[in-house]
Amino acid sequence: MLEKIQVKKSDAGDALKGVDCLLMIGGEKSGFDVSLKGVTVEPSACWQAAQREKDPVKDFMIAGADKPVAIHCLPLKKQGETDYQRIGAAAGTRLRAKPYGSVVLALGDDLEIDKDAVAALLRGLIIAAEPKLSYKKDDKAAKPDDIELTVLHGNDALSFTKKQLKPVLETARAVLIARTLTAMPANHLGPEEFKDYCLGLEDDTLGVRVLDRKELTKQGFRGLLAVAQGSEQPAYVVELFDKRAKGKPDVSLIGKGVCFDSGGLSLKPATSMPEMNMDMAGAATVVGAMWLLTRAAKPVGYVGSIGLVENMPSGTAYRPGDVLEMRSGKTVEILNTDAEGRLVLADVLDWSAKEHEPKVLIDFATLTGAIIIGLGHDDAGLFSNSDGLSEALLSAAKAADEGMWRLPLHDSHRKAIESQVADIKQTGGRASGSATAATFLGEFVGDRPWAHLDIAGVAFTDKDTVYSPSGATGWGVMMLERLVETLSAGKVGVDKD
């Protein structure tokens, strides 16, 4: 579908010729400036029927001129940009459920719609239309790439040229990059394959740098390497940057890329292990976002650094009770080898802060189960040492319609990770488990403004969401695209509060 979308003014006559599905999005008084030649249906009657039954996406199967057309009416009550993104997603969900070949999306003539709203609608539609990653040999699920989508409207000012459509499609593609990486099973996406995938993205603007085990040893990534040492898989730190950008970056994005997390010697229960291929979702968000941000016309001062490892139990695995000296020099008492993500992130945060000297650090990690207990699957947990950075992130998340909720960092959380044998201990007990994990990370960022996003609840869900089928979501990519705006123009140097 990404290649087969048009947005144009409807011409009378053959709008529905060969079309399998008509999606109608409109307000209560909408008429539709689409020629329904040979089709005996009143769009407004459809809309009202759908309203009455409180089903915004009811099917109306009717006989068209050359074949039956499935009509879906999607009433739109509020008309903000995120409402358009959501109604687009409702349309996309319809296309995900059924593999229509040719689709017309008609916009009602009473919509207060501008080009940004059309872009939001398409963004929502494309990411919701994408089915779950499947390895079935005879998969009958909708193939969005095969769908021909024509958006019809009655207003010349809403038409998109191919060039204007490109950034909209790129945003959607970036979300799907993150989502697909997150969904891939660990035997298809280990640290080696993930690193190769990043190298495959390299182009004129996106630069990729790989630090392998030898380099990581030389650079002192002792925490990250301790996690990796139980696995026969290699370990990497991969960096993604804009080749056009000059000087120090404004923002460092750090991602947790634990490609499979067995828990290590502190082995997880069998029932919670099958989905532990997604413990690299933070890294996937960073990769999707960096791919997207480096596509923009202007260079972006963002650098992404992801730590790629596998956490396995073996004769060479690190142990509970071990004391590690991290890259920063700080010593850490290990209590639970399943709390490995913070060790990987701590070293990458320390590296990124010292190597790149960014104005701001932001990390993304499926870090704790506790965040799912606290916030469910609606919001990522935000922890930060900076009110300014938090505000920028929250407003970017709101604009992108991606849930985020700020949680506090207290002195008591720091107390909880005091150790008798090392500078700090790795975990702070059951109480405030997400906050003590965040506090641990905060020990490795120096005095820079920093934000930690615990995405364990939002990166992967067991139910369908507005924008995706159950499983991986690609959360955070759209938020980061907005963050470039909210952090730009002098606001980048967010003061640490």
Compute the least distance from the CB of residue 423 to Zn ion, in Å. 22
Cβ-based nearer residue to Zn ion, 12 or 270:
270
Cβ-based nearer residue to Zn ion, 24 or 441:
441
Cβ-based nearer residue to Zn ion, 285 or 390:
285
Cβ-based nearer residue to Zn ion, 239 or 340:
340
Which of 96, 123, 295, 342 is catalytic? The answer is 342
Cβ-based nearer residue to Zn ion, 69 or 367:
367
Cβ-based nearer residue to Zn ion, 312 or 484:
312
Which of 209, 268, 398, 414 is catalytic? The answer is 268
Closest by alpha carbon to 197, among 259, 130, 279? 259
Compute the least distance from the CB of residue 268 to Zn ion, in Å. 7
Taking a C-beta distance cutoff of 8 angstroms, is the pair 51, 75 a contact? yes
CB-nearest residue to Zn ion: 338
Q: How many Cα atoms occupy the beta-carbon half-sphere of 11 within 13 Å? A: 4
Compute the least distance from the CB of residue 230 to Zn ion, in Å. 12
Cβ-based nearer residue to Zn ion, 174 or 365:
365
Compute the least distance from the CB of residue 40 to Zn ion, in Å. 59
Tell me whether residue 342 is one of the annotated catalytic residues.
Answer: yes
Residue 463 tokens read as 């139910």
Compute the least distance from the CB of residue 330 to Zn ion, in Å. 20
Compute the least distance from the CB of residue 263 to Zn ion, in Å. 6
Cβ-based nearer residue to Zn ion, 177 or 281:
281
Tell me whether residue 37 is one of the annotated catalytic residues.
Answer: no
SS (H, E, C) the chain: CCCCEEEEECCCCCCCCCCCEEEEEECCCCCCCCCCCCCCCCHHHHHHHHHHCCCCCEEEEEECCCCEEEEEEEECCCCCHHHHHHHHHHHHHHHHHCCCCEEEEEECCCCCCCHHHHHHHHHHHHHHHCCCCCCCCCCCCCCHHHCEEEEEECCHHHCECHHHHHHHHHHHHHHHHHHHHHHCCCCCCCHHHHHHHHHHHCCCCEEEEEECHHHHHHCCCHHHHHHHCCCCCCCEEEEEEECCCCCCCCEEEEEEEEEEECCCCCCCCHHHCCCHHHCCHHHHHHHHHHHHHCCCCCCCCEEEEEEEEEECCCCCCCCCCCEEECCCCCEEECCCCCCCHHHHHHHHHHHHHHHHCCCEEEEEECCCCHHHHHHCCCCEEEEECCHHHHHHHHHHHHHHCCCEEECCCCHHHHHHCCCCCCCEECCCCCCCHHHHHHHHHHCCCCCCCEEEEECCCCCEECCCCCCCCCEECCCCHHHHHHHHHHCCCCCCCCCCC
Closest by alpha carbon to 195, among 176, 182, 208? 208
Compute the least distance from the CB of residue 324 to Zn ion, in Å. 16
Compute the least distance from the CB of residue 70 to Zn ion, in Å. 45
Binding positions for Zn ion, rule: CB under 5 A: 261, 338, 340
Q: Which residues are catalytic?
A: 268, 342
